[in-house]
Amino acid sequence: MNRTVLGILVSGRGSNLQAILDAILAERLKAKIGVVISDNPDAPALKRVAGFDITTTVIERRKFADKRSFEKAIAAELQLHHVELVLLAGFMRILGGEFISQFPGRIMNIHPALLPAFPGLDAQAQAVKYGVKVSGCTIHFVDEGVDTGPIILQEAVPVLDGDDEHALAERILHVEHKLYPRAVGLFCEGRLRIEGRKVIISEKR
């Protein structure tokens, strides 16, 4: 069985990395993790794949003269492992156009809000402060903007009167862990097609 090779970029705890790994182990995803790359040597995410025969690599920004050479090193590592789909799973850096152009329509990100509402950092706090009654999460393809790429999947969660950003973040996280593997599965099945700003999801063959 052909499995789509994933490259996962992380900076922190890696709970969405864990959700992807769990889906693969449960045979819900026709995929394999080719490499996990972190810009943070202390990222707890790296420990999540220990013992699974998955290559992990640390590529620190401070060791490179500029952003371009840093991203070039990441791209080289992804290509070395024949990565077909790049997943940003709590990767806390904005990727440049040159990097993105090497993986057209093959970089996904997850964002804890219903885009285009509340892009960028601290989306949950933005939602609570604004007073919305509904928030959620979005899986989208990455373009050169900040959380502006074509949307693949979204799911809403309620914002309760007593919520702070932490309570809302936890509620959204439960949905993230279901939605991200689902989006990856659609890619692996060849069911996603980008038409302008829209992502068309075809019926299962």
Pairing of strands 85-88, 107-111: parallel
Cα separations (Å) of 142 from 13, 74, 102, 123?
Answer: 21, 16, 12, 17
Cα separations (Å) of 116 from 12, 39, 75, 145?
Answer: 24, 27, 28, 12
Residues in the chain: 205
Q: What does 34-66 look like in DSSP terms, one character per residue?
A: EEEEES-TT-THHHHTTTTT-EEEE--GGGSSS
Active site residues: 111
| φ/ψ (deg, to 5) at 132 | -70, 155
